Amino acid sequence: MERLRIVDSHTGGEPTRVVVAGGPDLGRGSIAFRRDRLRSEFDRYRRAAVGEPRGSEVIVGAWLLAPEDASCAAGVIYFNSAGYLGMCGHGTIGLIATLAHLGRIGPGEHRIETPVGIVTCTLHEDGDVSVRNVPSWRARKNVTVEVPEWGTAMGDVAYGGNWFFLVAQHEQDLTLANVVQLSDFCARIRREVNARGFPQVDHVELFGPPLIAGADSRNFVLCPGNAYDRSPCGTGTSAKLACLAADGKLAEGAAWVQESILGSTFTGSYRWLDRAAGKVAPVIRGRAFVNAQATLLLDERDPFCWGVG
């Protein structure tokens, strides 16, 4: 029987499952190369780790790897029950909390290799984690789409480690009681945005006024696979920061407090990398809590050993 050792955590309510040992040897090479190997040769391990019956579409998996770049503390491949993610902000905060829980790192700066580039994380003395994300930018402003049964929606296409469609003007109520309707609305928007020439967009992010004191905005984020992000979404907040920077609505270094649909928060800020190209380096700060440590058993006699579907 094969075994996968996992550590679970949540960041602002959004779960991360780090696979810390076991599974296939992906060899050496860049993390993108090893992600492609995991996808093409060993995808069943992704399904076994985060899919039903051991997991669900809500869990984001993080496959821990030895880094290729010796200046990095670790390499990581992010995935969920639907496929693979480029970067994951809440997952990186969960990964750093997990490495600290395992005694592998202490407070200070740690570089992490992801398939889309190196991110620089700081584990603060109080347990918070800051992630200096990959370069982020807005690709297109004010894209209008006709959403069947909902009418017109307008938003921006932006990159923050994953591709987002960010919608600020809509009639939706951003509350937990409304997540079924919000998910349907966002899934329809995504189909239209993909058909309008942006096939890379796999996350849709709605913004509205904050409900908690001190926040600047509340969001709802639909992820690939159709689960919604319980956290404020690190890559989504990075994309938002890129848009705010491009519009001159947030000064370099100023704090932006992004509230999630659960009411958890990330604090973001940015530094310009290339003002003419609209590229920023976002920093996202949040907190993760480790809540389980387990061994997954992969028993070939089990008809659902490699997941459902």
Binding site for ligand PYC (CB under 6 A): 14, 60, 85, 88-90, 162, 223, 229, 231, 233-235
- Minimum distance of ligand PYC from residue 303's CB (angstroms): 30
- Minimum distance of ligand PYC from residue 127's CB (angstroms): 18
How many residues does this entry show for the chain? 309
C-beta separation of 140 from 243 below 8 A: no
Task: For residue 18, give Cα distances in angstroms to 32, 65, 149, 227, 232.
Answer: 18, 10, 39, 19, 20
Provide the token pair at 123.
Answer: 């584990």
C-beta separation of 36 from 46 below 8 A: no
- The verdict on whether 223 is a catalytic residue reads no
- Bridge-based pairing state of the strands 203-208 and 217-222: antiparallel
- The verdict on whether 233 is a catalytic residue reads yes
- CA–CA dist 155, 236 (Å, integer): 13
Cβ proximity to ligand PYC: between 236 and 278 the closer is: 236
- Minimum distance of ligand PYC from residue 308's CB (angstroms): 21
Q: Which residue has the tokens 């947030």?
A: 250
- Minimum distance of ligand PYC from residue 45's CB (angstroms): 20
Cβ proximity to ligand PYC: between 14 and 113 the closer is: 14
Q: Which residue has the tokens 């997991």?
A: 55
Cβ proximity to ligand PYC: between 72 and 85 the closer is: 85
Cβ proximity to ligand PYC: between 100 and 223 the closer is: 223
- CA–CA dist 142, 260 (Å, integer): 23
Torsion over CA: 289, 295, 301, 306 (sign) = positive
Cβ proximity to ligand PYC: between 94 and 298 the closer is: 94
b/e code 110-144 from CB counts within 10 Å (16+ = b): bebbbbbebbbbbbeeeebbbbbbbbbbbbeeebe
C-beta separation of 99 from 105 below 8 A: yes
The one catalytic residue among 72, 88, 121, 223: 88
- Minimum distance of ligand PYC from residue 93's CB (angstroms): 8
Cβ proximity to ligand PYC: between 235 and 298 the closer is: 235
The one catalytic residue among 121, 186, 233, 243: 233
- Minimum distance of ligand PYC from residue 36's CB (angstroms): 20
Positions marked catalytic? 88, 233
